[in-house]
Amino acid sequence: MRVVHRLNETDLASCSLVTVGVFDGVHLGHQRIISGLVEAAHSLGHSAVAITFDPHPASVLTDRPPPLLTTVGERIDLLEHLGLDTMAILPFTGDVVATTAAAFVEDLIRHLRLAELWVGPDFTLGYGQEGDVPYLRRLGIARGFSVRVIDPVVWGGTIVRSSRVRQALRQGDIEQANGCLGRNYRLSGVVVRGRGLGRTIGVPTANISPPPSRLVPAGGVYAAWAHSERWGEHAAAVNIGTRPTFAAQPNEQGLTVEAHLLDFDGDLYDDVLKVDFVARLRDERPYPTLNALVAQLRHDIAHTRALLDNKRP
């Protein structure tokens, strides 16, 4: 897959099928559009192209952008696995906000040789969101491209949307989030030095510092898979919270993310640790004594081991 940052960098040798969106999370709805587009494009000998934006449009249009489910790099990896030929990551600026739907589509025709635009039923494009599906279909008749509308995916009785995944994660509902994503929710970050308290009680943890724009699930204890390029994959019991028993100082996000890797003894400092959340075990809570805390942690570790033994990826 070729990644470009301007449409004039594409230089396509064939016509293309194109979809446009933020694709934050690359959830089941995104996957349906991209997978179908790839299959249809390749059956015609065309290119399969996705256009996304960075930063998230809401960071320009509002003063309260949503936390991200995926970084741009993670989106690239996920979309590449779906078979795209080209991914354009366009900077979202005030100029983009002011671009009309017709002008944006003209760029798609000029640079991508647009043959068909794939969208969801609620899709809009261009200044003032003028480019809805009826508008784009009329434009397509005039400019020689077609518009294909893909039905949304329903999981658990409700349409899958990035906003739904965010809400589920904020509530600690990992089952719903993972169901909508079609995979375990992943949070990555550099392992930084903490206070070392876990090691003193025999439960060493890796303190993860995720990017500030990323969505951290609700506080609590989770069973997860932890992936390190240097050390491979390990089952992990992950605590998200403020460590009330120790009254630790919270980080700038107000939360710490600590992963205890089962059956692991190594140095993870400065490594990037990728944590895939499988299940939420319990709320975070304070304990009256250190011994009570340690007993609970041992129980969490045993629970994690038993759960993940039955959920090998």
Average pLDDT by consecutive 10-residue portion of the chain (313 residues)?
Answer: 94 94 97 98 98 92 91 95 97 93 97 97 93 97 98 97 98 98 97 79 91 94 97 96 60 74 93 97 90 93 93 63
- Are residue 204 and residue 103 in the same domain, yes or no? no
Residue 268 has φ and ψ, to the nearest 5°, of: -105, 0
- Tokens found for residue 9: 């960098």
State how beta strands 86-91 and 47-54 pair: parallel
The answer as to whether 29 is a domain residue is: yes
The answer as to whether 86 is a domain residue is: yes
The sign of the CA dihedral 308, 183, 76, 207 is: negative
Hey, what long-range contacts does 253-257 have (CB within 8 A, 24 or more apart)?
253/210, 253/212, 253/216, 255/216, 255/219, 256/194, 256/207, 257/187, 257/189, 257/207, 257/208, 257/209, 257/210, 257/216
Residue listed under structure tokens 């439960």: 203
- Are residue 18 and residue 107 in the same domain, yes or no? yes
254, burial (CB in 10 Å: exposed 0-12, middle 13-18, buried 19+): exposed
Residue pair 169/138 in contact by the 8 Å Cβ criterion? no
pLDDT for 200 = 77
pLDDT for 290 = 86
Residues in the chain: 313
- Are residue 121 and residue 220 in the same domain, yes or no? no
DSSP letter, residue 8: G
Q: Is the peptide bond before 55 cis (omega within 30 degrees of 0)?
A: yes
- Are residue 36 and residue 126 in the same domain, yes or no? yes
Residue pair 47/16 in contact by the 8 Å Cβ criterion? yes
- Are residue 124 and residue 190 in the same domain, yes or no? no
Task: Write down the pTM of the prediction.
Answer: 0.92
pLDDT for 252 = 40
- Are residue 146 and residue 58 in the same domain, yes or no? yes
Q: In what helix (H) or strand (E) does residue 181 lie, and over which residues does it extend? A: helix 174-181
- Are residue 28 and residue 150 in the same domain, yes or no? yes
CATH number for the domain including 53? 3.40.50.620
The answer as to whether 174 is a domain residue is: no
The answer as to whether 162 is a domain residue is: no
**Domain that residue 94 falls in:** 2-155
pLDDT for 62 = 87
Q: What is the 3-state secondary structure (H, E, C) of 19-88?
A: EECCCCCCCHHHHHHHHHHHHHHHHCCCEEEEEEEECCCHHHHCCCCCCECCCHHHHHHHHHCCCCCEEE
- Tokens found for residue 226: 């932890």
Q: Give the SS3 label for residue 18.
A: strand
- Tokens found for residue 174: 């990992």
Number of domains forming the structure of the chain: 2
pLDDT for 310 = 73
